[in-house]
A and B are shown apart, each in its own frame.
Chain A
Amino acid sequence: MDKKLKSIAQKLAKKFDGQLDDSLEQARVIVPSGKIVELCKELRDKHDFESLTGFSVVDYHPQTEPRFHLIYQFRSIAQNIYLEVRMELNGSELLVDSVTGIYPGVNWYEREAWDMFGIQFEGHPDLRRLLMPYDWEGHPLRKDYPLGYEEVQFTFNYDEIAKRKPSPKE
C-alpha cells in the first residue's frame, strides 16, 4: 500500500479514536459515530482530498451496537489515493450530521441513504425520497425488509394465482 496513504490513515485513526484495517491492500479507518464533519474538513483542507466519490450504508441487522456502518470513499487526485472511512451508527439513534456543506456532491447519496435505510441527515438542504415512489412506506434495503418475491405462475397453479393477480380494466 502507498506509504502516504498509510500515514494519513494512521494519523486519522489516532486523532478520531478509530482503528485502521489494511487487509486486501486497502486503507480503511473505522471511527465511532460523532465527528464526521470535522473529519471531512480535515481531509479536504489538510490532506488534499478534493472529492467524496461514494457514500453508502451497510446494515448488520440482528446486532444493534452498531447496526449500521456508513461508508465514505474519499479520493485525492493530486496524490492518487483512495481512502475509505467507516462510521459506526447504533440502531437507536439514526441522526447524522450532513457533509453537504463540505462536499456538495454527496447530496443525492444522503437522500438515497434516507430512502433506502431510514437514516436522517441534519443540515441536508432537501431530504426527500429519491428512488422509491413519493408515498412509499418503509426502507427497502434494510435487512428486515422482505425482498417482495412473488410466486411464479406455472400451469399447475395458474388458476389460483390468476384470481389474485391484478389485471387491467381496459
Chain B
Amino acid sequence: MRTKLKSRKELEELQKKLHRKLDTGKTRISICNGTACRPYGSNPVAESFKSEIAKQGLEDKVDFKVTGCHGFCEKGPIAIIEPGNIFYQKIKVDDVPEIIQKSVLNKEVISKLLFKEQSTGKEITAQNELPFYKNQTRIILGNNLLIDPTEIEDYIATGGYAALAKALFELQPDKLIGIVKQSGLRGRGGAGFSTGTKWESCRKAHGDIKYVIVNADEGDPGAYANEGLLTGNPHSVLEGLIIGAYAIGAHQGFIYVRNEYPLALKNMTIAMEQAEKHGLLGDNILGSGFDFHVRINRGGGAFVCGESTALMASLEGKVGEPRAKYIHTVERGLWDRPSNLNNVETWANIPLIVNNGPEWFSKIGSPGNSGTKIFSLTGKVNNTGLVEVPMGIKLRDIIFSIGGGIRGNKKFKAVQTGGPSGGCLPEKLLDSPVDFDELTKAGSMMGSGGMIVMDEDNCMVDIARYFLTFLEEESCGKCVPCREGIKRMRQVLNDITEGKGRESDIELLGEISVHLKESSLCQLGSSAPNPVLTTIQYFRSEYESHIKNKKCPAGVCKALIQFSIIDEKCPGCGMCVKTCPSNAITFMGKKKPVILDQSKCIKCRTCYDICRMGAVSIE
C-alpha cells in the first residue's frame, strides 16, 4: 500500500525505483484495450493473455500490460512485444497460445499477424517501421504503450509528475506562465487561442476564488482524439491541470467528460483517486503547501456543452445554454468567478513543456503553430486511427503516407476537418499545411481533431445535409439565427437531395449563412454554415447536378438514384433475393438474371453490398 509522497525527493526516489524495475530482461507485452479496439474483441483477447500467462506460470518471465489506445485502431486488437518492437495486429483469442509459445518463449515471429504493406504485400515486423507510425511525432500518445492507465506507478515510472514537482518547487507562477507563453502553445480545442495568454488573463483577473476546467466534451462526431488520451493516459491531463491551477492560483478544478465516454470516465476517476492517495492531488501536494481538488462531472448528451459558457452552465446544474462572451470567462466564468477552461490535449502538453522547456516545444511544428496535434483519422482511408503529427505537416502526408491512401483503390474526394464547425477540403488543397491559420484560410478549421476522409462514393451535398441535421438537433435553441436558420438551411438541403431543389437555393443558403455567421450567439451557430459554404465553394458542380439535373453523381441520395440489375453479370445465385428486406427482387431460376421491381425497392443498398459479381448498378 503506497503511502503519501510528501516531498519532491520522495517522488524522485520512487521514480528511480520504478524505473529500475523496468530493466529486468523480462519480455514485455503491451495490448491495447482502448474503446476503439473493444468492438474488435480486445477485451477477451486481453483476458486470454492474462489467463494463458497465469496458466503457464510465466509471470516472472513476462511483463504484461493492458493499455489504452496505441493509435492504429484499424488493425485492432493490437499488441507490441519487446524486445524487438514486434507489432501484431488483428489478434484473435485463438492466436494467444501461439503468440506465447512462439514469440514469447521461442522469440519467433508469427507471419500471419504482421502488418502487410498495402501495395507490395511486404511484411513489417517492427512497430516503428510501419508507415503509419514512422511518419508521426508521438510525443504525447507514444507513452500510451508503456502505461496501464489504472496504475499510477506506470506513469511515474516514465517520469510522470516530475513536471509538477518542478513547477511547485522551482518555478514561480508568473515564470511558469511565461514559459507556457513562450512555448507558443495554442488551445487544442479548436479556437487556437494562446494558452499562456489565457492563463495570464485568468491569473490577473479580480477575485480570490478561481477555477480551472478540463473540457473533455469532445462532441464532434468522428473525433475521438481526446478519448484516446483520457482513457489511455489520464494522468498526463491531470498533471497538466494541477500545474495550470498552480500557475493561475486556482484551488478547485473540474473535469467535464462526455456521457458517451464511459471508459474515459472510469479511468480518470481511478487516476484521481490514485493521485490523491499518492499525495499528488488534494491538500498540501508533495508537501508544497499547495492545495488543489478536482471534481468530475458527466455531460448529459449535448454537443453544445463543448462550448465553454454552456459547459460552465452545465457545471452549475443548469441547461447547457451559452451566454454572450463580451465579458470573458477568464474574468467571469463559472459562478461568475475567473475560470480557465482548456481542452484535454492542451492540458496534456503542459508537463512536456515544463520538462523540456519552451524552446524545445516551439521547434516542433511550424511558425506560430508550435507542437503536435492529435487527429482521429477515419473514413475511407486504409489506416484509420489516432495519429499525432507536427503542426504544419501536409494534409497529403497524413492521408497518404500515414493513412495509406484511399481504401478499395477508390479516388480521394474530400477531407473534413473540425467537425460540424469545420469544412470539407478538396484534392487541390491536399498540399496545404495543417495548422490553425492555414485551415481557417481554406474555410475550415482545426477543431478538436476529427479528420474524415471521403471518396468518390460520398455525396458532398448529402454530407452538408448530414452536418446540418446534426447541428439542428444539437442547437440549444436559445437564439433565433441558429434555431431557425439551421432549420431552414437543412430544409433547403433536404429538398436538394430529394430532387426538389430550386435555382435560387444556393444563393439562399449563402444569405442565411452570412446571417448565422454574424448574428449567432455562440460558435455553434456562427460556424454551422462552414460545411455548407465549403462544399458549395469546392463542389458546386455536385449541387448543380442535384438541382438542375436531379442527379446524384456519387449515387447516394435515394430519391435521385435507381438500383438495377446488369443482366450480363447476374449468375442467378439468388443471394440478393434472400436478403432484400422489401422482397423487391424475384428469383428467375439458376443462370437467369433476377428481376428488380422498382416500385418495391427501398434503396437500402443491401443487394449492391452483397453481390459478389458486381451485377447491381446504381444510377
Do the two chains bind? Answer: no
B residues in contact (CB < 8 Å) with A = none
A residues in contact (CB < 8 Å) with B = none
